[in-house]
Structure 1
Amino acid sequence: MSKGNHAPGTRTGEGRRVVVTGWGAVTPVGLSVDETWAALTAGKSGIAPLTGVDTTGLPTDFGGEVRGFDPSRHLGPRQIRRTDAYAQYAFAAAAEAMRQARLELDEATGERTGVLIGSGYGPVSSVAKHLNTLEQHGIRKVSPFAQITGAMDSAACEISFAFGATGPTRALSTACASGADAIGEAARWIRHGVVDVAITGGAEHIFTRLELATSCNAHALSTRTDAPAEASRPFDSDRDGFVMSAGAGVLVLESEEHALARGATILAEVAGYGATSDAHHWTAPHPEGRGARTAMTAALADAALEPTDVDYINAHGTSTQANDRSEIESIRAVFGDHAERIPISSTKSMTGHMIGAAGAVEAIVAGLAVRNSLVPPTINCHHPIADDLNFVPHEAQEHRVDVAMSNSFGFGGHNAVLILRSWEAGREH
């Protein structure tokens, strides 16, 4: 039961309850939700030397690649030819989520189903390949699918086509907050009656020489080339930058009424969402963490919860000097002494930073923490920047988790916070 004193229906955005009935993931540590969760709770890193991009001359030659992914297991030959890897990851994650939800759409239910997929950079890998073809071989060698492959909405459209979702189909881009924002905005669609079902999440594949070079030149990436698996070290005093990664996370969201009417298994509730902008700097967080604090507070208000109701925080935790310090200060400002009583971990220590996919995968992780009363660790956290906080160092911890918060903060000052809650506990609320 919720520990707050709110009466039912006092949330800031009145409307229907939004529940999760399916989720899917493609990550550097697994090609499904089950594989990913098993790896994360075992503290396994997915960071290794890069194999799919030329890293010659770059100070960083490692990252979180998706390894062993075979697009032909999920898409037909024509789909593969017209899709970038980011869209293929999104499609595979959506297919897994739809299978778990046991949801088949017909004409009527399809009209009440929307698709919203976030990505920070979209199909940049394919755009780079098409540009190279044009420059090296001329216009006649450019694929007629180049515009489709290079479209930001390609992932959302492929999912819409395949499953017959004829409600709103959209792409969303808010840098590293894209996946979380997509889930939050899709939940609003359901809450306010725009749709009954949403297939939503985030996807990313940005391993090109250009993306690596610009991030290296910005001194944003870790250069721990002698020990890639130890490079992502959120909340550790020896952190030296984030680790670029790829992947996707997709959820099936439904109104509670719709899910119950068809006898679906409800995995969790998307209870709250808050989104803000720092309006401060392209890459640095606000020095006072103003936007992050406001987003966390807004998410709590949206869920009609108090800070003391939260049992776990899946932190943004990128392993950069500025973000980790700012996020901890913001958490302290919002949670006060309660911050010392709850686990706060960053699964980016194992997956690296999946940019637009990060918030979606981490929302799934938050939901799994609720379902399993198990909190994944922050590996590589040998010298924590705050001794009074529980960063869940090295090994997973058992905790009762009825309410989990997932933070996502991005370049451009984007802040998105989601709150996942036990559906059963929410019904008692």
Structure 2
Amino acid sequence: MEKKLSFSPPVVIASSFATLIFLGTVLMKLPFATTTPISWVDAFFLVTSATTVTGLSVFDPGSTLTMFGEIVLLVLIQCGGIGLMTFAVAILILLRKKIGLQHRIYLQESFNQPSIGGIVKLAKHILLFVLLTESIAIVFLTLHWIPRFGFGDALYYSLFHVISAFNNAGFSLFPDNLMGFTSDPLVILIITSLIIIGGIGFVVVIDISRKNKFRAWSLHTKLMIVGTLIINTIATLILLILEFNNNDTIGKMGIFEKIMTSYFNAVTPRTAGFNMIDYGQMEDPSLLFTMLLMFIGAGSASTASGIKLTTFIVIIAATFAFFRQQEDPVLFKRSISREIIIRSLVISTVSLATVFIFAFALTITEQLPLLPLLFEVFSAFGTVGISMGITSQLSELGKVFICVLMFLGRIGPLTLFFILTKPKKVKYKYPNDQVFTG
């Protein structure tokens, strides 16, 4: 007979990330993990960034970390992206152990599923999909990089960047990240494809693999696929137009290179963190638009963060339904329930409040311009990892604030609120009254 859950799923999920960060920090402080000594705060910052698959760093990982340190970083990225609970279940499966009710409930919470039915089978499919996708990408990228780096380095670089891209981490072993590959369409397509696949959500991928007709897909899958296509297309066009004549970013490139780089810059803020341009040289409108992309994020039950694309779509749909005086918003001939609308509004409100609080705190602790600080905050909350170049200039307290924000962004602010508060069931109802709004 199964024991009663000793801890709620949100507590276990948050604790698993915290434990991973603690162990990773200890490993990263070992003398043979870095080429030069780093402080505890910097080790904590890097490990938190890797575990939350963010990509922000106060130093260049490629030149500061030894191979041991880089491998630790990779393991943290993979565990942080897919989830520690998924790996725990994978180990139990390999050991042919029974998956108990507790583990099934934790998986249900991790994958944001409505029930525990078939959750272990879903976890198996996700693990197989991750291994297959990363393996195929590693082969293609290795073959492409062999002429440039040689077989050994090409294989290692491919392994690192594929895992980093699929898990939307954005860490790179190159000093300028991926700025040296703006004229390499294959690298752009492979990296962006991994970012998109990892970001649309594992549930969406499984749904598509089981049903080969658009009509048979779930509403969530339809919204993610169509929404991703639309937002990536619009973002590419907007960034292309805004940066077209900016000689510090894409202005000096040829038209094809401008389009490909703009496409890359449209995809990567959806929580990936790679960069092919210097964000510190972008136009202010481009930076503001990029912050919006970082705040939206990608899909639920994925390697991405942000408020999630479906949350954003539901809010937009509910707004239009209100203007049209419709009782419920309708998407793809399906009504969106009030519960989902309220949840989306709560997620957005709490997320905006979180971003504001940390931005406000950093304006007090840091002597840096407002726009770069705002950009850093949105990047940390969305676990994106792109920066205007101020990460290394943060104070020790500022680095801690960003670490906390990355952690909240990965587990979700609502998870923290569920941990800190206890639901209270009210058995009575007060009479309604009028409140004037707007």
Give the TM-score band, short-chain normalised.
under 0.3
* Structure with the higher strand share, 1 or 2: 1
The TM-score normalised by the length of structure 2 is 0.28
| Greater share of helix | 2
Structure with the greater alpha carbon radius of gyration: 2
TM-score (norm 1): 0.28
